[in-house]
């Protein structure tokens, strides 16, 4: 089995690492305090100009067409430096992929180049509602045809990048009498659409530099051709795109965990207690060995899922396995790194407490760990049903 990266993938990873180190990492602490919006948007523009906002979008639509493996490698590097930026890149790429997969030729021509070149700072994925999280089929946002327009009414919750997104992929019920999985339609809504309101940014535990907002639709009128794909086929689209998004979350959490453990390894090599470096103590070594093994397994699971997707093979189970394992391993790694720093890890002088907060959400968004286990079990048991 050949696990070597191609020359293009290595170059993309190196470019992502350089930009992450030079531009993202110096801003991460400022973003965590809730400041630095303008430099943050400037960094998003820079990443777009370097091809990172359309990594799996065709060149004909302004994308890099670099593939899912390159996407996973890039988001991992951005996660090491700034999780808030990394999640924005991940979601924007997901929005670009869904437009490319099911959008009309006009929708692709109008919106993909703007996502890829940074004219749109980000894209937003509007699925979750207050009563429809793990079960999006129970959403209540409605879209009703009136003349040659659709009228949207409802609210979406916890929408990443809504405050500065240029385009929104929105799901709404279009046939309330149909079964729950066959009554939802996917729409493309441009920023500033009359009747769409972006709420105040949520006050979050971590990844505070990435805006997360409620998006409300009140008699929001959008043209008939705003439909993405086929009417009432939106639930299938959502499930498909979330599967790919889980590779991004796995990559992001892996980057956060690696950054935390790198700090911990450097710290224990220098910190002395009882007359010797604590890195020489067996208990500390075992903690590091366990986390290193888990993160290597997470890397392999994530790259396997990315490779399967890139080569057109089924990857739903593998993406859920990568997301589940990498995000859970990130919880253990960030807390182990904090523990190895002792009291210093609890201080804001070190970024360990930020890494722990940033990693925490990864087991929740884009499908909780519990939902991933259900998917893995379902896919595993299919041949035996």
List, for residues 289-327, the tens digit of each pLDDT value.
999 999 999 999 999 999 999 999 999 999 999 999 999
State the pLDDT confidence band at 207, using cuts at 50, 70 and 90: very high
Catalytic one of 14, 318, 366, 379: 366
Give the whole-angstrom CA distance, residue 253 versus residue 90: 12
Mean pLDDT on 182-188: 97
Token digits for 286?
């075992």
Average pLDDT over every residue of 157-161: 97
| Predicted local confidence at residue 1, as pLDDT | 65
User: Do residues 166 and 122 make contact, with C-beta atoms less than 8 angstroms apart?
Assistant: yes
What's the whole-number mean pLDDT along residues 276-292? 97
pTM: 0.96
| Structural domains in the chain, sorted by start | 7-121 (1.10.540.10), 125-232 (2.40.110.10), 243-384 (1.20.140.10)
Query: What does the pLDDT read at residue 292?
Result: 98
Q: pLDDT band at 2, cuts 50/70/90?
A: confident
Q: Is there a catalytic annotation at residue 177?
A: no
Q: Which residues contact 11 (CB under 8 A, 6 or more apart)?
A: none
pLDDT of 211 higher than 70: yes
Per the CB < 8 A criterion, the answer to whether 53 and 78 are in contact is no
φ, ψ for residue 285, nearest 5 deg: -60, -40
Q: Which region, left, alpha or beta, applies to residue 233 given φ > 0 means left and ψ of -120 to 50 means alpha?
A: alpha
**pLDDT exceeds cutoff 80 at 99:** yes
Residues 261, 290: contact at Cβ < 8 Å? no
* 180: confidence class by pLDDT, cuts 50, 70, 90: confident
Taking residues 116-127, what's their average pLDDT? 98
pLDDT recorded at residue 335: 98
CA distances from 314 to 185, 202, 204, 297 (A): 24, 36, 35, 20
Helix, coil or strand: residue 50: coil
pLDDT at residue 3, rounded to an integer: 84
**Position 28 pLDDT exceeds 80:** yes
């Amino acid at each position: 089995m050949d696990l070597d990266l191609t020359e293009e993938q290595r170059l993309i990873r190196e470019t992502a690492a350089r930009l992450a180190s030079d531009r993202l990492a110096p801003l991460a602490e400022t973003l965590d305090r809730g400041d630095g919006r303008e430099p943050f948007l400037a960094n998003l523009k820079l990443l777009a100009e370097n091809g990172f906002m359309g990594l799996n979008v065709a060149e004909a639509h302004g994308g890099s067409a670099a593939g899912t493996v390159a996407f996973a490698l890039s988001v991992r590097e951005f996660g090491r430096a700034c999780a808030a930026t990394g999640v924005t890149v991940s979601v924007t790429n997901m929005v670009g992929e869904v437009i490319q997969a099911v959008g009309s030729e006009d929708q692709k021509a109008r919106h993909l180049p703007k996502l890829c070149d940074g004219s749109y700072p980000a894209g937003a994925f509007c699925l979750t509602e207050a009563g429809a999280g793990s079960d999006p089929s129970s959403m209540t946002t409605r879209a009703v045809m009136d003349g040659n327009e659709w009228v949207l009414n409802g609210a979406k919750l916890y929408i990443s990048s809504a405050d500065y997104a240029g385009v929104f992929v929105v799901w709404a019920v279009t046939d309330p009498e149909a079964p729950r999985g066959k009554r939802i339609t996917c729409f493309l809504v441009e920023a500033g659409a009359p009747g769409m309101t972006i709420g105040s940014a949520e006050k979050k535990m971590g990844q505070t530099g990435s805006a997360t907002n409620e998006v409300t639709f009140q008699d929001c009128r959008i043209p008939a051709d705003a439909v993405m794909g086929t009417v009432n086929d939106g639930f299938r689209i959502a499930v498909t795109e979330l599967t790919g998004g889980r590779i991004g979350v796995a990559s992001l959490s892996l980057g956060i965990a690696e950054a935390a453990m790198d700090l911990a390894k450097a710290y224990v090599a220098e910190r002395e207690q009882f007359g010797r470096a604590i890195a020489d103590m067996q208990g500390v070594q075992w903690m590091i060995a366990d986390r290193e093994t888990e993160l290597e397994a997470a890397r392999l699971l994530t790259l396997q899922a990315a490779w399967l997707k890139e080569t057109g093979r089924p990857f739903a189970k593998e993406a859920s396995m990568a997301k589940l394992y990498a995000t859970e391993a990130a919880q253990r790694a960030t807390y182990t790194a904090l523990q190895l720093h002792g009291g210093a890890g609890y201080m804001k002088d070190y970024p360990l407490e930020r890494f722990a907060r940033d990693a925490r959400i990864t087991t929740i968004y884009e499908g909780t760990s519990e939902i991933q286990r259900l998917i893995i079990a379902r896919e595993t048991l299919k041949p035996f049903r």
